[in-house]
Amino acid sequence: MNRQTELVYAAALCLLIPSLTPSRLTSTYVPPPQGEQKSTRIKDLSKLNDTKVTMSLADTSIRTALNDLFKETNINYCIIDDKSISGTATFSVKDVPFEGALVSILRASRKSNLTYKTISDILVIHPQFDAPTFNGNDVARADNLRVKMNLEDADIRLVIGAFFQSLHVNYVMDQHVAGKISVSCDSLPYSEALDKVLKASKVPLKVSSENNVFRIDPM
């Protein structure tokens, strides 16, 4: 999302009508043009905003709001968040593009420091780090982060890249790290979720570190 688009969404938040009803969400997917085969999962995230979302949230946790949103959208996603995040959201939107609903959730609580980006066909939500926070000698500290992901036929290089890029750490992948994986988890510690990704590879993989650079290689 460019700066101009972000400002439009931010301005729209000022018009959101607070709701006193329980969390509620519906979404409508606009089907592809006639003759174009519909995929079971949205792989082209440029079409993500074809999904229109209606949400009504009242003092709902950021995690619950995100879970509700992604339940209604069939995409590859990875949410990496700090377990200390305890912000809530109260707002209503009607028939807005998916990205507008996502921005509304992330902006709804000043206690949340989450941001998002797309890596090919994977939507990644992660904390905003101004500088590298972890290195090869203390990555265990990353277990303060929790990972929720739902990936289907995803490029393993992109998935591993999403994990390390979210921490702003240096990493190198062997050229033989390749293939597609399907894996999911709900609120696992960072290292356990990463291990789950590595084990999903057809070729067993390992992670090592030297001089604050992570290496991912076949075993």
Which residues is 97 bridged to in the sheet? 52
Which residues is 148 bridged to in the sheet? 79
| Separation CA 102–CA 85 (nearest Å) | 17
> For all residues of the chain together, what is the average pLDDT?
78
Determine the pLDDT at residue 140. Answer: 58
Query: Taking a C-beta distance cutoff of 8 angstroms, is the pair 142, 190 a contact?
Result: yes
155-186 per-position pLDDT tens digit: 999 999 999 988 888 899 999 999 999 999 99
| Separation CA 147–CA 127 (nearest Å) | 11
| Separation CA 84–CA 192 (nearest Å) | 18
Determine the pLDDT at residue 150. Answer: 95
| Separation CA 201–CA 95 (nearest Å) | 39
The pLDDT of residue 65 is above 80 = yes
pTM of the model: 0.76
Query: Taking a C-beta distance cutoff of 8 angstroms, is the pair 145, 111 a contact?
Result: no
Bridge-based pairing state of the strands 170-173 and 213-218 = parallel
CATH number at 129-219: 3.55.50.30
Determine the pLDDT at residue 130. Answer: 60
| Average pLDDT estimate for 140-161 | 89
| Separation CA 211–CA 137 (nearest Å) | 8
| Average pLDDT estimate for 17-35 | 39
Of 185 and 133, the structure prediction assigns the larger pLDDT to 185
Residue with tokens 């789950």: 196
The pLDDT of residue 30 is above 50 = no
- Domain extents in the chain: 1-74+87-112, 129-219
